[in-house]
């Protein structure tokens, strides 16, 4: 029994490393996550509504909640961020029927409500910057972290198209490709730095959608710690008072 418990606890300890290994050995760039940066979240929301919500839903998220969290009025959200005819209390749903989507893309675009927790922010940040031209694929593109992906490069108008440098594929790493394996052709409307910033904001928004209360939870944590620190003073004095006669 004891041995068994030991084995289980070792497995539990290893769990985080299994999760990390799911990146498939490809180096992931670090996403610039800052959930307190409202401007970044607003820009991310705008990109999400414009470029993603036509295919992907975020069904666990309501427009109203986003308006409140990002400090926007209901009308501001309805005017600038709702393109689907949804009402402010609706969830971020899409009109595209799943069967149609499966026919067009070979697979249904998944709901993105908790994608940041399923894949991780760094994976998303690398994925959205890692599309490259691959004429052998139905959508004409492939991806460095998602081999044979069924999603088109919907942000190509911003980023431009990337080519894979054939001599750069890291053979020592099992043929894994990295961001350094790609060159962009300059046909996008953004410079590489601007594009990285835009995708950073988008991933920041997806991280927020994955856990809307996180920023509040983290602030609350500091208050709780502060309270405990203050409580320490009377608790310590009380302890001294109790033990005074014993010593």
Which residues sit at the interface with ligand HEC, rule CB under 6 A?
51-52, 54-56, 105, 107, 109-110, 112, 115, 119, 124, 127-128, 149-152, 154-155, 202
Residue 142 Cβ vs ligand HEC, minimum distance, rounded to whole Å: 10
- Determine how many CB atoms are found less than 10 A away from the CB of residue 170: 15
Question: Are 131 and 153 spatial neighbours (Cβ–Cβ below 8 Å)?
Answer: yes
Nearer to ligand HEC, 116 or 181 (CB): 116
Nearer to ligand HEC, 23 or 150 (CB): 150
Nearer to ligand HEC, 110 or 221 (CB): 110
Residue 161 Cβ vs ligand HEC, minimum distance, rounded to whole Å: 16
| Lookup: tokens for 23 | 């990146």
Residue 109 Cβ vs ligand HEC, minimum distance, rounded to whole Å: 4
| Lookup: tokens for 6 | 């030991």
Question: Are 41 and 213 spatial neighbours (Cβ–Cβ below 8 Å)?
Answer: no
| Of 135, 139, 163, 133, nearest in space to 151 by CA | 139
Nearer to ligand HEC, 96 or 215 (CB): 96
CA distance 161 to 140: 11
Nearer to ligand HEC, 109 or 160 (CB): 109
Residue 156 Cβ vs ligand HEC, minimum distance, rounded to whole Å: 11
Question: Are 221 and 70 spatial neighbours (Cβ–Cβ below 8 Å)?
Answer: no
Note the Cα 38 to chain centre separation in Å. Answer: 16
| Lookup: tokens for 113 | 């409500």
Nearer to ligand HEC, 35 or 203 (CB): 203
Residue 55 Cβ vs ligand HEC, minimum distance, rounded to whole Å: 3
- Residue 114 burial by Cβ neighbours in a 10 Å radius (0-12, 13-18, 19+): middle
| Lookup: tokens for 150 | 């069924």
Residue 231 Cβ vs ligand HEC, minimum distance, rounded to whole Å: 44
């Amino acid at each position: 029994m004891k041995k068994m418990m030991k084995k289980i606890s070792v497995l539990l300890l290893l769990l985080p490393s299994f999760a990390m290994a799911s990146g498939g050995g490809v180096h992931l760039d670090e996403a610039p996550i800052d959930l307190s940066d409202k401007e970044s979240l607003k820009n991310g929301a705008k990109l999400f509504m414009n470029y993603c919500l036509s295919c992907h839903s975020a069904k666990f998220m309501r427009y109203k909640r986003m308006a409140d969290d990002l400090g926007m009025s209901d009308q501001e959200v309805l005017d600038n961020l709702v393109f689907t005819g949804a009402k402010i209390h609706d969830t971020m749903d899409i009109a595209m029927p799943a069967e149609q989507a499966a026919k067009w893309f070979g697979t249904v675009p998944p709901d993105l409500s908790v994608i940041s927790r399923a894949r991780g922010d760094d994976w998303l940040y690398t994925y959205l910057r890692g599309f490259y031209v691959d004429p052998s694929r139905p959508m004409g593109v492939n991806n460095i972290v998602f081999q044979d992906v069924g999603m088109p490069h919907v942000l190509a108008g911003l980023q431009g198209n990337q080519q894979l440098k054939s001599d750069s594929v890291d053979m020592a790493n099992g043929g894994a490709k990295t961001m350094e394996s790609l060159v962009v052709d300059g046909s996008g409307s953004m410079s590489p730095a601007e594009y990285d910033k835009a995708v950073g904001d988008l991933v920041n928004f997806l991280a927020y959608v994955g856990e809307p209360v996180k920023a509040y939870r983290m602030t609350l944590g500091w208050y709780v710690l502060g309270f405990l620190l203050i409580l320490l003073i009377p608790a310590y004095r009380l302890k001294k008072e109790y033990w005074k006669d014993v010593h």
